[in-house]
Structure 1
């Protein structure tokens, strides 16, 4: 009897730690089902049930018997069924949108419907939302936190503060959008106003700073001109929805972490630019697929372009034939057909849609020859997101490194371009911190390009040479061109959170 009372107290205490209250009927049901188990098994089951309840859209914190029954049924699924749900590919058009509420100091979900062709006012909102995201995170940095009560700390000022003063102001720090409103003249803009910048004696920190980037600027204001002495990166934290079927973030799911650590042979293979109209490339892909027959990867992520050059009016038919050839090649390795997912991300020349991000997935008609032979094909948008257990992976096929270098107002003295690129996109919390005329974006779907909070992996399919950088606990990786880069590709091992450089021998 004492043992039953002790177990009942344990049930209530575990649920209370997660903010739940258990009804008596649900508590008795749990007691009947758990009393025959040993202590370790009980704890494991209570953890699974709690994990299930946290993911549900509950209207109240009261746990009913029906919810406990559903949790037990869900936890009783076989491990094979579990593994089917470990990998989720999230469309760019399904990425959840949030808006920061300044008065409540938190992000709240936006449930309004997005449109590709929206009102002109949305363009201004796009940059204002990016600013708000960076501003509220910057204020939480130790350099600015509690600055009002500590004279040794920096204080972040709005532009209107400088516009309202006629005297000289030194050591002022601003956060704003770097923009060129007149030829050869740069300005800093925030929601309160615009101020001209004098960049002649600027000291730049690491990064690639292009028009439309947000920067932290420290300097002196006098005679309506801000003399800039440093441009610095912005800092970010972690806590937000990544997208996918789960209503709660999976990052802290102990159950998923255990599965992730246990599945040590799981791997993702990332390949950029597979020219399927070139016999030499198909030959090397055949060698690659045969090499993985005895240890099939969880997924191949294949990024375009899938043809070596545009084919004009014959492009769709050539692309369809190319994917049919790919299907025949994969079908020769039945282990891959049955065990591996093939995620297809189109390149700039593949999609018949406009060259605006995010781009839709390839039409089924173009890939019908591949899908008829390989059932586990996923046609992804560009960019797309991949949730694997607790890991968050963002994939984009775009020549972002090249575009950022070309449009940067100052090229860094150190030539490690990949390091500067990684710091730029992570600090900007955006995949494409570029002017909209350089890299167009559908205004209402800009959230699909946000990197907030910072994911675990960002894979950028770029024609720039391959690289792997680790910044702010995030891997920023470019597999490089498979067709032009000596058949190189990248392999990611989630269990150890490591990337491996690989190559098909010539």
Structure 2
């Protein structure tokens, strides 16, 4: 009895059993943290873990996990949680902690290695904090290894704890205490994004979201990428079409409703793949495809399943004379398929590379461009709560298209910051500031009168009060009339540098503008170095900025102007000159203001290559804007005609005619969702950089600098499109024109001034 009743136990209340009333104390080695029970690793397939990962990452934390990241997590959970990953709920707890750590470390919406935070670093930290398949409380501490250094949304990690109410500014003040310096000057929130610095995103049609490309973009990619960029563009337009309400059949629609539809109505019907036309001769179909000219010289229509010859003799455009249709464009065609014994057309060759031809032809009855989608719908911002937060349903609001932060992560905070910046100016000066951007195109420095025109424009704004002065000046090429170094030798480059030296002399006379404004320079086709090889013809896009060899004197003028204010206390950032690519993007307050800039004489290329239909076979300048039908994807009816700004165009035709031509150009480009909807033979494009040309989602504003079209300012589906035209119009030696753009109102106005 004495042997049983030692110091570690007490007699039971039942002496007959002589058992202790509690278990003996465990040895010290058995109570050590993480040594309670050994974990036997298991082989966990990613497909088995996928439902748990979906509930944790997607439903709970609004994250998307890639297949490679799921494989990494499956190995980690199988190794550290063992067989109890499902029954004891160990996997869900681990994945929840991984998702929280990913958000805390500034990771993006897609969980994958190399995007945002380091997943391997997070798992390494968690593995050292686990015991018995469980995370020990108080031991998870992410260090700098788990923090991303290259993610543009790093600052967004602090937004998880910041109020997203645009009417509240307390969150911004709290963020300042965390070490973030929030300037109240609008120019501190400007970012010019080079076309070669944009995130390389492609739309995955199977997973229905955007993802980063695995390979780094190259100037000499493999031939496979030539076919891939057109396929990706088609998939992006196709998903946009299926999201449109006009092409979604209602639950109560009849199966036979398509048999009696009008040939001019394209609503409520899904497109038919071209391969499905075989054996259905005499039936009516709606096709979404790419127009192209076959090697035999026939006009054909192609999609991802095949191609078919198309007859546009009886086709009517919708709206009538409201858009251009040229080879290389994606169009919606409604018509009848006619089968023939021998195929008309041929296999789609290397220029497009999508499928083969089928026999017969498709007789088109109506043709139109794919419907455009508003920016709010693309980003899922159509539904807002009363307090201003964004809806969490639909759209691609979590995708960072520009590398400045996504709409849902930074949009509300940046809108609050914009309001705070405008209020600070009003409280200090008593005047409400309307931030303005001055846009000038075809600034031909080789023309002697251009210098006088620039001096006149700069003097007008230099004399204005600070709150009314533009904070951005955009100067767009061509900066010379003839291509540089077209004849070879050094004379061309030396002469070109002298033109910018003259510009630096003019800018030096306006020190106030140099100190408090940002100047952005966008090249044209005649500027170096692309014009050296193209001789002024259409060069490859996107193209690099003007080399620093020619811009040193202009940069020196800004440096000297800012050096004079170094000794004085100023809260405003220094003025600067930025030389960017063509095309490029201007971001103001992150994703709030996205301004696309593109220099190209696109209207002339459209007139040369457009196909003829019944509606535009007898096209003449007598058509007016009132003849354009206002369909669901037509121009905004609230567009003001006086925003066009000109009584007559350069050819002396009525303003209504020029306005109709401008509306036709704008609708064509924005419906296509790309800045260059042409074959590579007409407009060469770098295959791996076509993502910089896409207009999806629509930017808030689009500067389409076309010297062959009269200046205009038109809003279409919420996107404000502006064309400054020529700085000095033809046959006008004392008149200069430019555009003044208000970013808050998202409206531009054509300005003109006489000079001596």
Using structure 1 for the length normalisation, give the TM-score.
0.83
The answer to whether the 8 A contact 2:523-2:581 is kept is yes
- Residues 326-345 of structure 1 aligned to structure 2 (within 5 Å): 326-345=503-522
Q: Secondary structure at the match of 1:430?
A: coil
**Contact 2:484–2:528 (Cα < 8 Å) also in 1:** no
Distance 1:60 1:493, change over 3 A: closer
Matches within 5 A, 1:68-467: 71-73=175-177, 77-80=181-184, 83-146=186-249, 150-151=253-254, 152=257, 153-163=268-278, 165-170=279-284, 172-182=285-295, 184-205=297-318, 206-223=322-339, 224-235=360-371, 236=373, 237-239=377-379, 240-246=399-405, 250-252=410-412, 253-259=414-420, 262=423, 264-293=433-462, 294=464, 295-310=468-483, 312=485, 313=489, 314-353=491-530, 355-375=539-559, 376-389=576-589, 390-410=592-612, 412=616, 413=619, 414=623, 416-464=660-708, 465-467=710-712
Aligned-partner Cα distance in 2 for 1:69–1:78: 9
Whole-angstrom distance in 2 between the partners of 1:104 and 1:445: 22
- Residue 27 of structure 1 aligns with which residue? none
| Deviation at residue 277 of structure 1 after TM alignment | 2.7
Q: Secondary structure at the match of 2:225?
A: helix
Question: Contact 1:148/1:155 (CA < 8 Å) preserved in 2?
Answer: no
TM-score normalised to the size of structure 2?
A: 0.56
Deviations 1:38-85 (A, max 9, x none): xxxxxxxxxxxxxxx994388999869xx99994436863534x5343
The C-alpha deviation readout for 1:360-406, integer Å capped at 9, x for no partner, is 00111111111111241100100000011211100011111111121
RMSD (CA atoms): 3.1
What SS does the corresponding residue of 2:292 show, helix, strand or coil? strand
1:505 alignment counterpart: 754
For the residues of structure 2 that align with 1:58 and 1:475, how far apart are their CA atoms?
A: 28
Equivalents in 2 of 1:121, 1:348: separation in Å?
28
The one of the two structures with greater contact order (alpha-carbon pairs below 8 A, sep at least 6) is 1
2:154 pairs with 1:56: yes
The unaligned stretches of length 5 or more in structure 1 are 1-15, 24-52
1:473 corresponds to 2:718 = yes
1:24-51 C-alpha deviation (Å, 9 max, x unpaired): xxxxxxxxxxxxxxxxxxxxxxxxxxxx
Deviates more, 1:345-354 or 1:128-137: 345-354
Q: Distance in 1 between matches of 2:336 and 2:422?
A: 52
CA distance in 1, matches of 2:434, 2:336: 56
Matched, 1:490 2:726: no
Deviation (angstroms), 1:149: 7.3
Q: In the TM superposition, what is the alpha-carbon distance from 1:311 to its structure 2 partner? A: 5.3
User: In 1, Cα distance between the equivalents of 2:493 and 2:239?
Assistant: 46
Structure with higher strand content: 1
- Judged with a 3 Å threshold, the aligned counterparts in structure 2 of structure 1 residues 59 and 156 are, in CA distance, closer, same or farther, namely same
CA contact (8 A) 1:176 1:216 kept: yes
- Relative distance call for 1:74 and 1:405 in structure 2 (3 A) is farther
Which secondary structure does the structure 2 equivalent of 1:99 belong to?
strand
Note closer, same or farther for the CA distance 1:378–1:60 as it changes in structure 2 (3 Å cut).
Answer: closer
Aligned pair count reads: 457
Q: Is the 8 A contact 1:458 1:476 kept in 2?
A: yes
| Alignment CA distance shift 1:157-1:275 (3 Å) | same
Query: Any idea what the Cα deviations from partners look like across 1:332-354, whole Å, max 9, x if unmatched?
Result: 11110100111011111112136
Secondary structure at the aligned position of 2:228 is classed as helix
Deviations 1:136-163 (A, max 9, x none): 1101112222469733431211111113
Distance 1:179 1:77, change over 3 A: same
Corresponding residue for residue 91 of structure 2? none
Question: C-alpha displacement at 1:183, in angstroms?
Answer: 5.1
Rg larger in structure: 2
Higher mean displacement: 137-146 or 298-307: 137-146
User: Partners in 1 of 2:172 and 2:411 — Cα distance?
Assistant: 23
CA contact (8 A) 2:713 2:720 kept: yes
- Check the 8 A contact 1:272/1:481 in 2, yes or no: yes
Report the CA distance between 1:488 and its aligned residue. Answer: 0.6
C-alpha distance 87-185 of structure 1, shift in aligned 2 (>3 A) = same
